[in-house]
């Protein structure tokens, strides 16, 4: 097993988080975990088809970044592992689940499936099946925010964009090209690397000459940060700084979150490449259990409050499944609908 990197230290006790904020962060992470667990159940029961990539273990990254933004106003761009990003961005669980079932009530009208979630209402710019596809889209979204504000005089155009992608993507050309453009034009964007150590079955250290991805930001003169991606407060603190910089016109930030997926690459992956020792070491750092312990230790929540949140989320997820099962299939006559913009 490759030598593990030393995690950056963050004093969670010094983090400023109110009781309400803490409970909201916990609820968002639990929603992501319970939703993905239910997806696995539905997939193995034959209710879901195609490739399904789950986010278990990485919840602190999605919650920490997106909840530091303005959900519904700021833009989020995802990957093929997009369910939880969509949920954190505010897309209702029932519409995400319906999309995974290929139903007309899904957020992409049943046309996208697991890897292509989209919601204009929630500023979710999409999930993308090919790695690196979303980075130019996110960079374009950041450009239009800046252009509307500076060239068109729209003072309200101060939206920030977050582009999520994995460690394997950072070896692709789009990553370097877009970082260069964003730095050159000081675009309001966060490039968030979810470094879960594995690009499908390729260990990160075997695929790059510089495993410490955050250091690549220095080439473009932009800030680069390494953060413990299993600590939602650590991720949130870095994201808040980056969002403030971006909104103030100070340009982009590269954030490398050291995290781990608790399941295989997809539900079709037997997960035989990763060692038992490695997996167990990361399972012990479960971000949800870690944050629950923090809330209890600092009197920000009681055990009953946490259990109430879990019960609430369980109900939401079960209702999402019922909604998806009862929703209609897309009508074949609408096969070409949504291909081009409607004129009416």
Give the pLDDT score at 342.
Answer: 75
282 vs 195: CA distance, rounded Å: 13
Q: Could you tell me the residue range of the domain that residue 115 belongs to?
A: 39-290
C-alpha separations of 344 from 24, 119, 158, 243 in Å: 40, 20, 29, 37
Q: How many domains does the chain have?
A: 1
Q: What is the mean pLDDT of residues 308-333?
A: 97
Grade residue 340 by pLDDT with cuts at 50, 70 and 90: confident
**288 vs 6 pLDDT, higher one:** 288
Grade residue 136 by pLDDT with cuts at 50, 70 and 90: very high
* Domain presence at residue 71: yes
* Domain presence at residue 310: no
Q: What is the pLDDT of residues 252-262, one digit of tens each?
A: 999 999 999 99
pTM, whole model, 2 decimals? 0.95
Reading the block at residue 2, the tokens are 């490759």
Q: What is the mean pLDDT of residues 208-235?
A: 96
Centre a 10 Å sphere on the Cβ of residue 249 and count the other Cβ atoms it contains: 13
Residue 29, pLDDT > 60, answer yes
* Domain presence at residue 208: yes
* Domain presence at residue 139: yes
**204 vs 236 pLDDT, higher one:** 236
* Domain presence at residue 154: yes
Reading the block at residue 306, the tokens are 């946490």
239 vs 247: CA distance, rounded Å: 12
Q: What percent of the chain has pLDDT over 90?
A: 84
* Domain presence at residue 112: yes
* Domain presence at residue 144: yes
| Token pair 């979710």 in the structure block, residue | 124
Centre a 10 Å sphere on the Cβ of residue 2 and count the other Cβ atoms it contains: 11
Q: What is the mean pLDDT of residues 115-136?
A: 96
* Domain presence at residue 3: no
User: Which CATH number characterizes residue 71's domain?
Assistant: 3.40.50.970
């Amino acid at each position: 097993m490759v030598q593990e990197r030393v995690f950056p230290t963050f004093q969670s006790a010094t983090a400023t988080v109110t009781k309400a904020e803490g409970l909201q962060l916990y609820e968002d992470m639990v929603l992501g975990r319970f939703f993905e667990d239910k997806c696995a159940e539905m997939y193995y029961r034959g209710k879901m088809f195609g490739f399904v990539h789950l986010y278990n273990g990485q919840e602190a990254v999605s919650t920490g970044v997106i909840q530091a933004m303005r959900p519904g106003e700021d833009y989020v761009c995802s990957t093929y592992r997009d369910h939880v990003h969509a949920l954190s961005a505010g897309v209702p669980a029932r519409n995400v689940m319906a999309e995974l079932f290929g139903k007309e009530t899904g957020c992409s009208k049943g046309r996208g499936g697991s890897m292509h979630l989209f919601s204009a209402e929630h500023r979710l710019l999409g999930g993308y099946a090919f790695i690196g596809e979303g980075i130019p889209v996110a960079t374009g979204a950041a450009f239009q925010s800046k252009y509307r504000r500076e060239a068109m005089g729209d003072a309200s155009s101060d939206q920030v964009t977050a582009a999520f992608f994995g460690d394997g993507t950072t070896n692709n050309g789009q990553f370097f090209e877009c970082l260069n453009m964003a730095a050159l034009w000081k675009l309001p964007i966060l490039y968030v690397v979810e470094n879960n150590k594995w690009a499908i079955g390729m260990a990160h250290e075997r695929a790059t000459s510089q495993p410490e991805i955050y250091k690549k930001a220095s080439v473009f003169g932009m800030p680069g940060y390494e953060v413990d991606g299993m600590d939602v407060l650590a991720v949130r603190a870095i994201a808040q700084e980056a969002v403030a910089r971006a909104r103030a016109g100070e340009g982009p930030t590269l954030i490398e979150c050291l995290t781990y997926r608790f399941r295989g690459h997809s539900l079709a992956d037997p997960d035989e490449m990763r060692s038992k020792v490695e997996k167990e070491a990361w399972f012990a750092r479960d971000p949800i259990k870690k944050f629950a312990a923090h809330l209890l230790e600092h009197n920000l929540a009681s055990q009953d409050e946490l259990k109430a949140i879990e019960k609430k989320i369980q109900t939401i997820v079960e209702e999402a499944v019922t909604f998806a099962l009862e929703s209609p299939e897309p009508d074949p006559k609408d096969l070409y609908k949504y291909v081009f913009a409607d004129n009416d």
